[in-house]
C-alpha cells in the first residue's frame, strides 16, 4: 500500500502532495512502482494535529481518488468520517482505512457494511491533539488485542462481513516506541483478538515513523530524518511480512516491494517446513 497524503501537515511529507495534480502523479508513480493499493488521505494524524473541516477533507481527496480510480488504481480512502468514505467510494475508492476503527464516527461501520468493501480497523485511543496522554498500558499487546476485538464486535454487529475486516495495531497512535516494538513482535496475536478463532489479515504502517528514526539514530544520538528512515522501513517490511503481515503501508514503494517478495517466499518455505 502506497501512501498519498493530500495534506499540508502530515509528519513526513506534509505539503508535498497537497496540489491535486501532484498527488495524482504521485499515486500513479507509486502504482507503477508496484503498490497494489493507493491509500489517499486528506487529514493529518501527526501528533498534535487538530481536526480538519469535513469540506476541506473532501475537496482534498475527491479529485485525487477519482483520477486514480479512473486510471485503474485500487484506491483506499484514509478517513475517520463516514461521509468522506461514502463520497470517496462513490468516486471510485474500493476500501476504507479508518485509523479510529469506527470510534470517531459511529456511522462508519454501517456505511462500510452497506458498501461491502474491505475495512481497515486500526487500534486508536483518541484524536491526535493528545497523542501520548492515553499511551499508558500495563500489557500493551493484551490491551490492544482486547480493544481491537471490541471494534471488530461493533463492526460485525453493524453488518460488516468479517471476511472484509483487516486489523492494524496503530503504531505510534497512543503508543510510545517500546509499545510499537512489542506490538510488532506480536503480529500473530494481533491477528486473533480474544473470542475469535479466526486470523484476520494485519496491516502494518511503520513507514518513516519516529520510533524507527530513533533506532537508526546517528552517533550523536539524533534520530534519522523521515526520508532517511526508508531503509529502516524496508527492514520492518521484511520482518513483518515474514511474520505473516498481510499488507504494509509505506511512503517509498520500490525497496518495500522487493522486501515483500523476498519475505513472502521466506514465509512460504517456513510454513512448508513447519507443516
Ligand atoms: N498512520 C498514519 C496514517 N494512516 N493508517 C493506518 N491504517 N495505519 C497507520 O498506522 C496510519 C494510517 C500516519 O502516518 P502518515 O502521516 O505517514 O500517513
pTM of the model: 0.97
Contact 163, 201 (CB under 8 A): no
Q: Which of 80, 40, 47, 82 is nearest to 61 (CA)?
A: 40
Specify the residue for cell string 454501517. Answer: 110
Q: Where are the domains of the chain?
A: 2-274
Domain 2-274 CATH (choose: 3.90.400.10, 3.20.20.20, 3.40.50.720, 3.30.750.200): 3.20.20.20
| For the chain, counts of helices (H) and of strands (E) | 10, 8
CA of 269 to the centre of ligand 1 (A): 31
In 3D, which of 173, 250, 252 has the Cα closest to residue 211? 173
As given in the structure block, the three cell numbers for residue 5 are 497524503
The Cα–Cα gap between 254 and 239 comes to 16
Residue 101 CA to ligand 1 center (angstroms) comes to 12
> What residues are labeled active site?
209, 249
The mean pLDDT value of the chain amounts to 96
SS3 203: strand
Q: Kindly state the cell numbers that stand for 202.
A: 494485519
Q: Decide whether any atom of ligand 1 lies within 6 Å of the 95 Cβ.
A: no
Percent of all residues in the chain with a pLDDT value above 70, rounded to a whole number? 100
Q: Evaluate: CB of 97 within 6 angstroms of ligand 1.
A: yes
State whether the beta carbon of 2 lies less than 6 angstroms from ligand 1.
Answer: no
Residue 7 Cβ < 6 Å to ligand 1: no
Q: Ligand 1, atom 9: nearest CA belongs to which residue?
A: 205
Helix locations, 33-176, DSSP H:
54-70, 82-90, 108-115, 140-157
56-98 pLDDT, tens digit per residue, is 999 999 999 999 999 999 999 999 999 999 999 999 999 999 9
- The helix/strand/coil state of 275 is coil
Over residues 130-175, the pLDDT tens digits come to 999 999 999 999 999 999 999 999 999 999 999 999 999 999 999 9
Q: What number does the ligand 1 atom closest to the CA of 172 have? A: 10
Amino acid at each position: 500500500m502506497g501512501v498519498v497524503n493530500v495534506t499540508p501537515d502530515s509528519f513526513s511529507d506534509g505539503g508535498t502532495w497537497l496540489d491535486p495534480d501532484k498527488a495524482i502523479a504521485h499515486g500513479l508513480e507509486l502504482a507503477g512502482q508496484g503498490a497494489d493499493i493507493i491509500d489517499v488521505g486528506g487529514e493529518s494524524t501527526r501528533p498534535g494535529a487538530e481536526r480538519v473541516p469535513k469540506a476541506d477533507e473532501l475537496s482534498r481527496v475527491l479529485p485525487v481518488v477519482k483520477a486514480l480510480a479512473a486510471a485503474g488504481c485500487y484506491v483506499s480512502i484514509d478517513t475517520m468520517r463516514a461521509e468522506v468514505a461514502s463520497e470517496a467510494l462513490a468516486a471510485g475508492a474500493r476500501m476504507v482505512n479508518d485509523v479510529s476503527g469506527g470510534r470517531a464516527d459511529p456511522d462508519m461501520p454501517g456505511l462500510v457494511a452497506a458498501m461491502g468493501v474491505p475495512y481497515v480497523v486500526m487500534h486508536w485511543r483518541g484524536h491526535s491533539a493528545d497523542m501520548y496522554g492515553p499511551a499508558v498500558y500495563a500489557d500493551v499487546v493484551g490491551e490492544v488485542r482486547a480493544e481491537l476485538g471490541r471494534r471488530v464486535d461493533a463492526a460485525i454487529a453493524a453488518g460488516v462481513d468479517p471476511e472484509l475486516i483487516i486489523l492494524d495495531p496503530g503504531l505510534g497512535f497512543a503508543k510510545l516506541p517500546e509499545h510499537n516494538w512489542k506490538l510488532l513482535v506480536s503480529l500473530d496475536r494481533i491477528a486473533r483478538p480474544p473470542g475469535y478463532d479466526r486470523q484476520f489479515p494485519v496491516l502494518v504502517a511503520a513507514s518513516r515513523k519516529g520510533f524507527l528514526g530513533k533506532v537508526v539514530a546517528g552517533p550523536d544520538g539524533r534520530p534519522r530524518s523521515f526520508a532517511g528512515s526508508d531503509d529502516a522501513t524496508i527492514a520492518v517490511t521484511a520482518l513483518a511480512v515474514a511474520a505473516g503481515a498481510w499488507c504494509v503501508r509505506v511512503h517509498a514503494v520500490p525497496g518495500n516491494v522487493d522486501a515483500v517478495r523476498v519475505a513472502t517466499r521466506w514465509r512460504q518455505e517456513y510454513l512448508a517446513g513447519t507443516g
